[in-house]
Structures are given as structure tokens and as C-alpha cells.
Structure 1
């Protein structure tokens, strides 16, 4: 079996709308910290110099959102009320949604803007994939080439409402993208709304989750390394209690004959 990493890194050096703070305690600093904690909490004296090289363990402390890096959006992210009941949080989602056969739809030629239902349907037919309920659909938009830059958050394509509904009608419950959002860029949606007055163009993919329970994987990477079909995706979200999203180390699992 071959494993392909589909995850973008959590990188404090890259550009983010909500900057990442990554504080690193070195092994030497960890030794001093441990010594201070032992004295504070247990009244014990310990000289860090007694440790090999005067070092103990490193420790990383990060400040970031649950939507930083590759992550899975839970239904509760889309709104507080769903027509199907109370939207579930990420820790409540069934694990069998996140290890499934998958298909990649190549929509790289769209550039910036909206991907419609006809395009999704045609691309799915082109792959020859026989879509089954709970299959995972991945959208290869090409946006991941801008990861770490400001363009990643503005230059991409997202699906519209009918395209989302089409996939949900097929029984798909996890839709992934290598872009910042499954919806079109914020600026694109706002301008279209201002021109048309049509509220349905505002975050249609996310708001579809208020009517139909499903999850999104956003900020994937390396989708160009995958065949259109014939593989599985594992994308188990981190179990953050009560959260609207959880980070995931998404990977593709390819059998040897698929490679």
C-alpha cells in the first residue's frame, strides 16, 4: 500500500488571516521549567544540570483556530440550528464517514469563482467513478500552490448551492477541497450578491449544511498526485469537544495495483 499525505502544514511562518503563534520551549528550557514546577508544586529541589546535557523535553504551545491547516468542518460550524435537528459538533461525528473510497474531480481550469452542478456532474462522469453513499469527493482546484501566501485566501474556486446539493443527493457526506473554503472566495460572493441581490450566492456550500448534515475537508494538498479514482481517504478529525471543526492529517491510501 502507498500512502500520500494530503495535508497542508500548520506553519506559523506562513500568511494567515488569524496569525498562528508558535512558542517553542527547548529541551534545555524544559529542564529548567520542570525544576521550577517541582519546587512550586511539590517542594522538591532538583538541579537541571543532573540531566544528560542539562536537557529534559521540548514543548510546543500554539495559538490558532480549529480552521487552520487541513481540517474537517462539523455541521455545527454551519449554524446553530438545522432542519434535521441540532447540528453535531466535531467530536460527535461518526468515524466511518472519514475512512472511505474517494474520487478526485479536476476543476483546475475554473481559476477563481464558482463551480456549478453541471461541471461537477460532468467531471464525475469523466472519472468513471461509480459513486456510492458515503464516498468522499475531493475537488482539485489547484489553489494549494498558493499555500502560505495571501493569495491562498482570495484566488480559488468553490462550489455553488446546486453543486453541493447534487453531491449530497448521491449520498456523499464528506466533500473536500484543496482551497481555503468549499465556497467561492468571500469577495467573489459579496460582489455577486451586490450585483444580483440574490442571497443564495452567499456561502451556499456551508449553508447547505443547515438543511443536510455533512462535513467538509478544507485546505487539502497534493491532490495532483492522486489518480481520479481507485483509492481511499483517511481523514479522522481531532476530537475537540464541542468544536465546529477539528484538524486532520488527511492521507490517501492507494493499493499497489492503483499506483
Structure 2
């Protein structure tokens, strides 16, 4: 089995609207820290010099949102129980794991402009693959946005879906929709400009708000989609981190390929 990494890194050096803070405790500092912890919590005295080289283990502390890097949005992210049509929306730790290890189908939207595309564009992209999404398939949008990850452009120039396009995929039995962009919706600036021009609140976050009517998940900020040899014929693993009560969880998304598999 071949494994292709489709995850974007969590990188404190990259540009983020909510910056990542990454603090590193070196192995030498870890030894001193451990000795202090032993004294405080257990009343034990320990000299770090007894360790080889005076070092124990390093420790990384990161401050970041659950929407940093490649992550899965849970239904609880889309709205409260009062505004969903299917009852109380589930958090990321409550979702069935078999949603997140499934055959995948990649739709090429790289020729589309910044904004939200509708059902007609989506159907055309599906037709080009030669294969319809099947129930429980993971559908992935290849917009090309992943190439700008780590820059401000990544958050302003990409293609999303409108609400009807999301509904079309859900009608086919899809439960997880992925994208290499920052969001499954159009960029914030694009949506707000269209709202100001038209007064139509329906242009504001329609892909996310579709999750208030119908239960589904998104994978956002996928990466490296050019490495996939074909639009189907592989499984996508995107098991989310088990963060209790959270609206999203990070994932190390990977494609799992058998080189002889066709899945036709």
C-alpha cells in the first residue's frame, strides 16, 4: 500500500489569521522542569545532573485553534441545537469513525474563479471524473488553493461551494466533503461584498449553514492534491483528533492506494 500525505503542516512561521504560538522546552530544560515537578507534587528531590548529559526529554507547547492546519469540522461548528433541523449537533468526538476512512473522489475546480460555485459546475466536475459519488464516499474539491498555504493569499483567493451544491452531494449520500482551501465557503471578503451589493443573506456562509439543516462534516485545508495519480481508486483516512466537546479536530489526512486498485 502506498501512502500519500494530504495534510498541511501546523507551522508557527506561516501566516495565519490566528497566529500559532510554538514554545519548545529543550531536553536540558525538561530535566530541570521534571525535577521541579517531582518536588512540588511528590516531595521528591532529584538532581538533573544524574541524567546522561543532564538532559531528559523535550516538550512542545502549542497555542492554536482547532481550525489550524488540516482539520475536520463537526456539525456543532455550524450552529446551536436551536437552529438545526436534525436535533442537537454532534461534536467532533461524537461522530462515527467510519465516516472518516472511505473511498474518495476528487473533483477538479482549479479552473474556477474566487467565489462560490453552484450545482452546474459541480455536476460538470463530477462528469469529468467518469464516476458518480457513491453513498458515504468522501468528496474532495481540488481548487489549487493549497499551493498558497502559509501566505495571506491562501485566505482570500479560493473557490467554495454554495448551499445547493452542498445539498447535491448530500443527496448522493456523501457525509464528508473536503477541500484544499481555507474554507468550503467562498472567502470572507467575497461573501461580504456580495451581501453588501445584493442584501441577500443567503450568500453568507451557505456551505457551512447547510450543516444546520443536514448533518455532515467538512475537511478543510487539505494539501498536496497534485500527488494523487487519479481522481478515484484510493481510500482517504482523515480520522479527527478526539477533542471532547469541540466543533473541530485536527487530522493527519492521507490517501491510501493499492497501485493495482481501480475502484471503477
Whether the TM-score (by the shorter chain) exceeds 0.5 is: yes
Output the aligned Cα RMSD. Answer: 1.0
1:235 aligned residue: 238
Other structure's SS at 1:100 match = strand
Structure 2 unmatched ranges of 5 or more: none
Structure 1 equivalent of residue 34 of structure 2: 34
In the TM superposition, what are the counterparts of 1:21-60 in structure 2 within 5 Å?
Answer: 21-60=21-60
Q: Residues 130 and 110 from structure 1, CA distance in 2 versus in 1: closer, same or farther, beyond 3 angstroms?
A: closer
Which of 170, 187, 190 is equivalent to 1:188?
Answer: 190
- Equivalent residue runs for 1:160-179 within 5 Å: 160-179=162-181
1:110 corresponding residue in structure 2: 112
C-alpha separation between the residues in 2 aligned to 1:191 and 1:201?
Answer: 10
> Partner of 2:160 in structure 1?
158
Report the equivalent of 1:87: 89
How far apart are 1:130 and its partner, in Å? 3.4
Give the corresponding residue for 1:9.
9
Q: SS of the counterpart of 2:226?
A: helix
- Aligned 8 A contact 1:77 1:244 in 2: yes
8 A Cα contact 1:111 1:141, kept in partner: no
User: How far does residue 258 in structure 1 lie from its aligned partner after superposition?
Assistant: 4.6
Q: Tell me the SS of whatever aligns to 2:111.
A: helix
- TM-score, normalisation: structure 1: 0.98
Matching of residue 251 in structure 1 with residue 245 in structure 2? no
Matched residue pairs, number?
A: 259
* Counterpart Cα distance in 2 of 1:35 and 1:101: 49
CA contact 2:103–2:137 (8 Å) conserved in 1: yes
Give the whole-Å Cα distance in 1 for the aligned partners of 2:160 and 2:102. 22
Q: Report runs of 4+ in structure 1 exceeding 6 Å deviation.
A: none
- Aligned pair 1:73/2:76, yes or no? no
Q: Secondary structure at the match of 2:150?
A: coil
Q: Is the 8 A contact 2:119 2:164 kept in 1?
A: yes
Structure 1 unpaired stretches of 5+: none
Who is 2:222 aligned against? 220
C-alpha separation in 2, matches of 1:28 and 1:111:
51
Whole-angstrom distance in 2 between the partners of 1:218 and 1:10: 13
Instruction: Name 1:123's counterpart in structure 2.
Output: 125
CA contact (8 A) 1:115 1:160 kept: yes
